[in-house]
Structure 1
Amino acid sequence: MTAVGRVGAEATAAWHSFVRRRTAVFFTFFFPVILVLIFAVLVQTNPGGGGLFAEPPAYYLPGYLAVVVLFTPLSRVGSEVARHREGNRFEKLATTPLSRVEWLLAHTLVNVAIIGIASLIVLGLMALVTGTADLILDPASLALVAAFVALGVAVFCGLGAVLGATADSQDGVIAMSNTIALPLLFLSDTFVTPDLLPAWFRPAMGLSPLSYFARGVRELTYSGGAFGAEMGVLAVLALAFFAAGAYAIPRTD
């Protein structure tokens, strides 16, 4: 079997494993719905009013997308690696032609598909509840947003694999994921604008991969500005984190 065949077979198995877990499927797609309804409908924005959510609704679309791009791969891939370790599955995989890179690539592709669907739900809800007056949703922009989503997912799948390989249990993975994800979500130019943070901290936002995702998507869907630098940095980070994740996956347990 070729590498493409091995990756395809593992991806198919991972997809079927996901859809069989009805609770996981429900909350994976229901979570972004709740998020948009709470912040876009109940809290709402207050353009020009100062404080949090002081920008137009379209400004926060990258933040909503960032939630699923960040949390879902971290927890899913991290838990999957931890589950494989607890079940000694990597020892069995070591006897097959499937490499660690191919295994992680297959699971990354599945996560890209899952999060792509969740992102479409977020876009549809945003258009429905806030309107599209400030959103740029032409086919070219949407295709580039999909590329940003894929790169962001690759980053956090790689990080999730590292967490799964280092945590002592699946519960440990969830705890580590939340500890990392929550600060990143609110300190990465997603919901909290840089001017609300101390001046000394703002340069540190450039250390977060999520900042480049949010800024690039915002340029595409709201500002209409240049996004090439953000995409380039995110692509490099995706390769680096994916390589780190593949290296961290144990050959045996």
Structure 2
Amino acid sequence: MSAAGRVRAEATGAMRTFLRRRTAVFFTFFFPVVLIVIFAGLVRTQGGSSAGLFSQPTGYYLPAYLATVVLFTPLSRVGSEVARYRADNRFEKLATTPLSRAEWLAAHALVNVVLIVLAAAVLVVALLLTGANFTVSPWLAFFVPAASVLFCGIGAILGSLADGQDGAIAASNGIALPLLFLSETFVQPALFPAWFRPLLNASPLVYFARGVRAATFTGGDGVVFNAGVVLVLAVVAFGVGAALIPWTE
């Protein structure tokens, strides 16, 4: 069997496993929609002031809503899967097959990309139904999958280093929640202290947020640069994540 065939077979099994978990399916697709209902529908992020939380038009917050699936879904799913495979000694068994650690991670990243793209599409439609003003840019077809692979790689790193599945989930949530609010998503840079603003550049999610916002809301300046950063980070994170998977040859 070719490498593509091995990835496809592993991805098919992973997708079937996910679809059997109804709770996971529900929160993957409907949690972001709940956020939109709360913030775009009830809170009404349409204020006229340039400062303050949720003071920008709803379209400004598209990267924030997309980040809820691009960030949380791959971090928690891949992190917990790697930790679970470690606990069950599944990697030792897989090491006796032609499947490599990079192929295994590619298969699970592919599943996450498919799920996240579908969830992002649902989210974009839901936002449009609220009357949000933004452009459905072709760049979304790059940023959403690329960022998904980036955080799949980081999830694999956490799952390889964490002390068990519970530790991987706790680490994923402990990293994802601060990143969500410290990456120019829901909170504007102007609301942070001046000394802290340069530190925002350390967040991998900030380049996703800037790129998506530039492509869909502010007019396109900086899209290519941020896309390049996200791509490089995705390649590096995937490579490190695959190398750390405890594969026993």
For normalisation by structure 1, the TM-score amounts to 0.95
Asked if 1:96 corresponds to 2:97, the answer is yes
Q: Work out the CA distance in 2 between the residues paired with 1:174 and 1:77.
A: 10
Q: Work out the CA distance in 2 between the residues paired with 1:136 and 1:32.
A: 19
Tell me the secondary structure at the aligned position of residue 188 of structure 1: coil
Q: Work out the CA distance in 1 between the residues paired with 2:108 and 2:147.
A: 14
Kindly provide the amino acid, as one letter, of the partner of residue 94 in structure 2.
L
**1:42-96 Cα deviation digits (max 9, x unpaired):** 1111433331011111000110001110000000000100110111100000000
Asked if 1:159 corresponds to 2:160, the answer is no
- Give ranges in structure 2 of 5+ residues lacking alignment: none
Q: Work out the CA distance in 2 between the residues paired with 1:225 and 1:78.
A: 34
C-alpha displacement at 1:170, in angstroms? Answer: 1.1
The residue that corresponds to 1:148 in the other structure is 143
CA contact (8 A) 1:62 1:218 kept: yes
C-alpha displacement at 1:178, in angstroms? Answer: 1.1
C-alpha displacement at 1:244, in angstroms? Answer: 0.8
The residue that corresponds to 2:128 in the other structure is 127
Kindly provide the amino acid, as one letter, of the partner of residue 78 in structure 1.
G
The residue that corresponds to 2:59 in the other structure is 58
Q: Work out the CA distance in 1 between the residues paired with 2:17 and 2:141.
A: 24
Asked if 1:33 corresponds to 2:33, the answer is yes
- Give ranges in structure 1 of 5+ residues lacking alignment: none
The residue that corresponds to 1:233 in the other structure is 229
The residue that corresponds to 1:13 in the other structure is 13
Which among 191, 201, 209 is matched to residue 196 of structure 1?
191
CA contact (8 A) 1:136 1:224 kept: no
C-alpha displacement at 1:252, in angstroms? Answer: 3.1
CA contact (8 A) 1:29 1:118 kept: yes
CA contact (8 A) 1:88 1:252 kept: no
CA contact (8 A) 1:78 1:160 kept: yes
C-alpha displacement at 1:223, in angstroms? Answer: 1.1
Q: Work out the CA distance in 2 between the residues paired with 1:234 and 1:22.
A: 31
Q: Work out the CA distance in 1 between the residues paired with 2:15 and 2:45.
A: 37
Task: Name segments (4+ residues, structure 1) moved above 6 Å.
Answer: none
Kindly provide the amino acid, as one letter, of the partner of residue 167 in structure 2.
G
C-alpha displacement at 1:209, in angstroms? Answer: 1.0
**1:168-192 Cα deviation digits (max 9, x unpaired):** 1111111111111111100001010
Tell me the secondary structure at the aligned position of residue 195 of structure 2: coil
The residue that corresponds to 2:135 in the other structure is 136
Across the two proteins, how many residue pairs are aligned to each other? 247
C-alpha displacement at 1:7, in angstroms? Answer: 0.6
The residue that corresponds to 2:219 in the other structure is 224
Asked if 1:242 corresponds to 2:242, the answer is no
CA contact (8 A) 1:104 1:246 kept: yes
Q: Work out the CA distance in 2 between the residues paired with 1:146 and 1:36.
A: 21
For normalisation by structure 2, the TM-score amounts to 0.97
The residue that corresponds to 2:80 in the other structure is 79
Kindly provide the amino acid, as one letter, of the partner of residue 9 in structure 1.
A
- What is the CA RMSD across the aligned residues, in angstroms? 1.2
Q: Work out the CA distance in 2 between the residues paired with 1:57 and 1:34.
A: 15
**1:70-123 Cα deviation digits (max 9, x unpaired):** 000000000100110111100000000100000001100100000001101110
Q: Work out the CA distance in 1 between the residues paired with 2:162 and 2:28.
A: 23
Q: Work out the CA distance in 2 between the residues paired with 1:27 and 1:8.
A: 25
Q: Work out the CA distance in 1 between the residues paired with 2:172 and 2:248.
A: 23
Q: Work out the CA distance in 2 between the residues paired with 1:11 and 1:224.
A: 37
